[in-house]
Amino acid sequence: MNKTKATLPTLLLRKPEASILLAGIVLVIVFQILTPNFFTDANLQTVSQFFAPWTLIACGEIMLLIAGEVDLSVGQVFALAPFIMHFAMLAGLPVILGVIVALLVSALLGLFIGVITVRFGVPSFITTLGAMLLFNGLTLTISGGFPIDTPAGATGFVLGGWDYSEILWAVVIALGMHVMLRHTRWGLHTVAVGGNPTGAAEAGIHIRRIKIGNFMLCSLLGGFAGILNAFHVTSIDPNAGGANVMFLAIASAVIGGTSLMGGSGTILGGLIGAAVLGILQDGFTLLGINAFTFDIITGAAILITMISNVQFAAWRRRSRT
């Protein structure tokens, strides 16, 4: 075995997670120097609440991207799920069951887009673009377009009431998903399906099952993130989430080192990527940079990392052969 020495340059070369982690640390130091209040309890809460939702969604998107698919509609499931919970409770269910029903419905929405994508061979970019509008229309219809309050009680507190609830859920789930990706057959087969669909099928892997399962997982995580967020802000808003949170989730995945071509990706990288986007957003707010400028800067940052990701992967390949 040719063990590479774990020097910093080789680590940065081999592990996409390492370079984004380094970028994150540099950002934190810069913001701490430029603004005195980065490391305050209040600000850490703000940062963590910023990026917890798109961390959860990024976990689902990473699995889908690895499998060679994408889900653009997950931000709409984010908005829809808390309403499903609300109506389940109106029908007489306790909060906890309302949450479970909402999660089941989220997974079913994933099943729906997964089956359409796989059975009819429509690219998921198209199916989920359609689903985006469909789910959004559904949310607006059942909600009447108005926000409502979340129910009080212990379930809500555990899910999103405590200041660090959301981030705790997000990190625990991300770690669990990391184990699933690297240490279970499901994770390995997801990589195989995205890396070589024909070959995976020839090896006897059920590629449709893997893809549909990952669509369900992504929607489920989107719904869960939506519920956590509703409890956190104590309001169920039909305009929550949407394309914005989906875009940030995919950006986190790609910044963290997940390939848009399928066949490779990392949950830990996505977690760090999500945190970096959160830190950026928060740091700019602290510096008093306005939201429009922020969008320009993050947009450019995402473009640059995406381009360098592709270039970097190609270069890494060349340098190792």
Residues that bind another protein (CB under 8 A): 1-2, 179, 183-185, 188-189, 191-192, 194-196, 198-205, 263-264, 317, 320-321
Contacts of 161 (CB under 8 A, 6+ apart): 231, 232
Q: In degrees to the nearest 10, what's the CA dihedral of 159, 162, 167, 173?
A: -30
CA–centroid distance for 129 within its chain: 17
Residue 58 CB, nearest approach to another protein (Å): 20
Q: Do 297 and 279 form a contact (C-beta atoms < 8 A)?
A: no
Least CB distance to another protein at residue 189 (A): 7
Q: Which residues, listed in sequence order, are joined to residue 201 by a DSSP beta bridge?
A: none
Minimal distance, residue 185 CB to another protein, in Å: 5
Query: Of the two residues 245 and 253, which places its CB atom closer to another protein in the complex?
Result: 253
Q: Please report how many Cα atoms fall inside a 13 Å half-sphere around the Cα of residue 89, on the Cβ side.
A: 18
CA angle 175, 205, 62 (to 5 degrees): 30
Query: How far apart are the C-alpha atoms of 204 and 37, rounded to whole Å?
Result: 55
Nearer to another protein, 14 or 119 (CB): 14
Cβ closer to another protein: 60 or 265?
Answer: 265
Q: Smaller CB distance to another protein: residue 24 or 194?
A: 194
In angstroms, give the least distance from the CB of 92 to another protein.
37
User: What's the N-to-C CA distance of the chain in angstroms?
Assistant: 16
* Min dist. Cβ of residue 14 to another protein (A): 11
Residue with smaller CB distance to another protein, 40 or 185: 185
